[in-house]
């Protein structure tokens, strides 16, 4: 679902090459270079022979070789950034509903259920107990669907938004989203696009965490596997795991903000969706869900629509 909610709002190529997107790739490269210098020292860069390092054959050609080496490095850096950016939407889909074995999936779903139950107990005290309203707790509770819990925080936030909008307005986001985005005012569309871009960029940060470990670990054992090197490798693994966890939390926070923005945008702009489709506007809150369900079925080519269209003048 996340891919359908972001792909229409973000030009993938422009999102990839934002300054801070390329900055992540540069940090990734600099981390490896710093590790190389740390473990080998400046002498490690020296070319004792043409086969000492991959760059040595080019370095032997003086300034031309150095310029070529810089160009090759830039191409490799851009290729890595492009590959990570291309993988980000797939990662988001996997985080939404990961393909896990049955036992592991049940374990993670039960963990999410336990968290939701704890939040519910905190925000719904027993009758007769005088407590202040826990607004933050109620907001957290809104990140979980009433049923069909997913094994991840990202999946639950998106499912909660989808089910909440469908229950209140009758609109199926999966069916209505392409048309809805097309009729949004430019300002609302820009806000959604910016938050969508943030999600894709933070997904890239999640990918860079294990890549950094894969990049640094081989460098740590270039010459020998001493106790110092083993300790350094352990530190690299711990730091990469911490970076990955932190990046996942930031990604989940961005998805939460995006879901809040979707809720607000649908509330403020759903009128345009009915008008552009020629559907009569719902008369009351009690009948809106039925109108939304009819519109969703019509957009899915499963219904003939209203008895009479009302096209805007």
Query: Contact 277/207 with Cβ under 8 angstroms?
Result: no
- pLDDT at position 13, please? 45
Q: How far apart are CA 193 and CA 174, in angstroms?
A: 17
Between CA 253 and CA 202 the distance in angstroms is: 10
Please check whether residues 104 and 92 belong to one and the same domain. Answer: no
Residues 112 and 205 in one domain: no
- Whether 75 is in a domain gets the answer yes
Range of the domain at 282: 2-40+56-98+172-299
Could you tell me if 211 and 287 lie in one domain?
A: yes
Quick check: is 121 in a domain? yes
Per DSSP, 43 falls in state G
pLDDT at 108: 92
Q: Is residue 313 part of a domain?
A: no
Counted domains in the chain: 2
Looking at residue 313, its pLDDT comes to 60
**What pLDDT score was predicted for residue 251?**
93
- pLDDT tens for the chain, 313 residues long, are 555 665 555 544 445 455 566 777 888 878 777 777 776 665 555 565 545 556 666 666 667 666 777 787 788 888 888 888 888 888 888 888 888 888 899 999 999 999 998 888 888 776 555 566 668 888 888 899 988 899 999 999 999 999 999 999 999 988 888 889 888 999 998 898 888 888 888 888 899 888 887 777 776 665 556 677 777 777 878 888 888 899 999 999 999 999 999 999 999 999 999 999 888 889 898 899 999 999 999 888 887 777 778 887 6
| Burial environment of residue 238 by CB neighbours within 10 A (0 to 12, 13 to 18, 19 or more) | exposed
């Amino acid at each position: 679902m996340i891919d359908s909610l972001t792909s229409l709002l973000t030009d993938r190529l422009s999102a990839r090459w934002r300054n801070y997107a390329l900055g992540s790739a540069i940090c990734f490269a600099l981390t490896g270079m710093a590790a190389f210098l740390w473990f080998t020292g400046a002498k490690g860069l020296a070319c004792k022979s043409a086969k000492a390092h991959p760059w040595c054959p080019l370095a032997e050609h003086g300034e031309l070789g150095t310029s070529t080496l810089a160009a090759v490095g830039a191409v490799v850096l851009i290729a890595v950034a492009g590959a990570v950016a291309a993988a980000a939407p797939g990662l988001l889909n996997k985080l939404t509903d990961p393909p896990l074995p049955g036992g592991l999936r049940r374990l993670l779903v039960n963990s999410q259920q336990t968290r939701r139950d704890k939040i519910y107990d905190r925000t719904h005290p027993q009758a007769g107990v005088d407590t202040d309203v826990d607004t933050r707790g109620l907001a957290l509770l809104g990140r979980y669907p009433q049923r069909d819990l997913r094994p991840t925080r990202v999946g639950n936030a998106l499912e909660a938004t989808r089910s909440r909008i469908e229950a209140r307005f009758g609109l199926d986001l999966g069916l209505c989203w392409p048309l809805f985005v097309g009729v949004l005012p430019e300002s609302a569309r820009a806000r959604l696009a910016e938050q969508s871009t943030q999600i894709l960029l933070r997904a890239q940060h999640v990918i860079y965490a294990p890549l950094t470990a894969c990049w640094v670990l081989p460098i740590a054992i270039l010459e020998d596997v001493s106790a110092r090197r083993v300790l350094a490798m352990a530190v690299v693994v711990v730091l990469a795991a911490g970076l990955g966890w932190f990046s996942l939390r930031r990604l989940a926070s961005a998805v939460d903000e995006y879901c809040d923005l979707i809720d607000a945008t649908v509330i403020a702009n759903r009128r345009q969706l009915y008008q552009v489709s020629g559907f009569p506007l719902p008369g009351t809150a009690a009948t809106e869900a039925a109108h939304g369900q009819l519109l969703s079925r019509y957009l899915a080519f499963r219904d003939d629509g209203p008895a009479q269209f009302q096209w805007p003048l």
